[in-house]
Amino acid sequence: MLWQILVLAICLGTGAMLARVVRTQIASSDVKARFVRLGVESFARVLSPLLALLFIVIAKSMVEHWIRINLLRIAIPLVGSFALIRFAFYILRRIFARGGGTVGGFVLVFEKVFAVAVWAGVALYVTGWWPDVAQYLDQTVLPIGRNKVSLLTIAQASGSVIVTLVIALWVGAALEERLMRMDSVHSSLRVVMARMVRAILILLAVLLSLSLVGIDLTVLSVFGGALGVGLGLGLQKIVSNYVSGFVILIERSLALGDMVTVDKYTGLVTRINTRYTIVRSLDGVETVIPNEMLLSGAVQNHSLTDRVVRLATRLTVAYRTDIDQALKLLEDAARSVPRVVREPAPQGYLIKFDPDGFELELGFWIADPENGRSSVLSDVNRAIWKALQGAGIDIPYPQREVRILESIPRPDAQHSKEIPLGAR
């Protein structure tokens, strides 16, 4: 027994040390092929139990002629199950929590159920109850229509469907991540390709899982006809939104990072899904806009061909002001703000003659409207105020002069003189 514990400890320790060395080499090496790095990193989390399992199998075959190997026989399914659970958790986190996102409650529950099912299966295998449980599930049948299906068949079918779908989603997530890194391809085209690849993989996974279960794929023609009727009657809006989403992505009329105005909503396009688009306003509020609305209505894209946007501010100066000097001060003040671009250059204009003075306008351009307009307008106005104060130019406030040209007697005073004394 002690020899088995010693051999098991050596195998586990060697596997952990070798896995750590391999991970260190991978992290320090410059792997140019991203798919090679992706394939290696995918098994980094399960590398330690897999190597330990390999060493245990090798040690079992080497020492089985000299010592008892009952403990090693039990350790093989335990370590293998641990590797399977860690690999499944890695795949689920990569699918549903990419980019450092949080994991939803459904994924956490599924992970717990999967872990319990795997450990229960290992316990049944180790105790020798697995054949009896499998026979019981095979003999327990459920009537489904005219046919009878055993619980074992249902469990195998559910397992095959879940496994194929998870593998398809995992491969789709890996391909989507690689496609989104292709800077040479337009962002809209990358999104279209990623969505199409995922849809094709899910379709293939469903067809493969159905064939593994034993369902004849020709029966899908009936389902397709019913689906077509349903789409024609009650799902027109949903289908229209999906089609509109693909049309928008293919036409490239919208892209991630565009500054748009749709109806009364203005903001940055942060996500383009197949059914809706998310627009994040400058105050942080996200609006979910159906894609059909983007395709059928008017959309102002402030950065379709050029991200540079013009802003303007107006002010009034006194009539004694030198206009040329004032306009030059305005333009220099705008140039002093970092967010104002140099080309096109800021330009000052004399708009009109107000009763209080000259009305001037300063037009300038910015290249990052997604960072907000109020802040840059405030910076420009503050720079203008400092420049005018330094030059001694006043900004007049509205005022009026009221002159009384002559004294007019009040009407009640005239009437009072005409009334006799006796009548008072």
Q: Is residue 5 part of a domain?
A: yes
Instruction: State residue 423's pLDDT score.
Output: 47
52 contact partners, CB below 8 Å, separation of at least 6: 11, 12, 14, 15, 16, 79
CATH code (residue 244):
2.30.30.60
Q: Which CATH number goes with the domain that contains 341?
A: 3.30.70.100
Residues 13 and 105 in one domain: yes
Rounded Cα–Cα distance for residues 31 and 354 (Å): 69
What phi and psi, each to the nearest 5 degrees, are found at residue 378? -65, -40
CA 274/CA 199 separation, integer angstroms: 11
The label of the residue with tokens 């008892």 reads 68
Does 349 lie in the same domain as 271? Answer: no
User: Is residue 3 located within the same domain as residue 113?
Assistant: yes
Number of structural domains the chain divides into: 3
Residues 289 and 316 in one domain: no
Q: Among 255, 262, 249, which residue's Cα sits nearest to residue 296? A: 262
Are 259 and 332 members of one domain?
Answer: no
Q: Residue 280: helix, strand or coil by DSSP?
A: strand
What is the signed CA dihedral for 67, 69, 70, 75, rounded to 10 degrees? Answer: 140
- Give me the residues of the chain with pLDDT under 70, please: 1, 3-4, 23, 25-45, 64, 67, 69, 97-104, 144-145, 183-189, 213-235, 407-424
CA distance 374 to 113: 51
Residues 66 and 1 in one domain: yes
Domain shared by 75 and 2, yes or no: yes
7 and 114: one domain?
yes
What is the spatial order of strands in the sheet that 309-317 belongs to?
309-317, 357-366, 347-354
Domain extent for 384: 309-391
Residue 24 lies in a domain: yes
Domain termination residue (choose one: 273, 301, 329): 301
pLDDT of 153: 79
Task: Enumerate residues 6+ apart whose C-beta is below 8 A from 382.
Answer: none
Q: Cβ(224)–Cβ(253) under 8 Å?
A: no
Please say whether the beta carbons of 282 and 273 come within 8 A.
no
In whole angstroms, give the CA distance from residue 295 to residue 92: 35
Q: What are phi and psi of 349, to 5 degrees?
A: -135, 145
CA distance 294 to 245: 9
pLDDT at 424: 46
Do 31 and 118 fall within a single domain? yes
Does residue 212 fall inside a structural domain?
A: no
Q: Is residue 150 part of a domain?
A: no
Asked if 117 and 10 sit in the same domain, the reply is yes
According to the model, what pLDDT value does residue 15 have?
A: 72
Task: Give a yes or no: residue 78 inside a domain.
Answer: yes
Same-domain check for residues 115 and 19: yes
The verdict on 313 and 375 lying in the same domain is yes
The domain boundary residue, chosen from 301, 320, 353: 301
| pLDDT confidence of residue 361 | 92
CA distances to 267, 365, 370, 376, 391 from 308, in Å:
15, 6, 11, 14, 31
Domain boundary among 65, 95, 128: 128
Q: What DSSP line would sit under 301-320, residue for residue? A: ETTSS---EEEEEEEEE-TT
For residue 259, being part of any structural domain is answered with yes
Beta bridge partners of 316: 359
Q: Are 361 and 377 in contact (CB under 8 A)?
A: no
Q: 187 in a domain, yes or no? A: no
Any domain includes 207: no
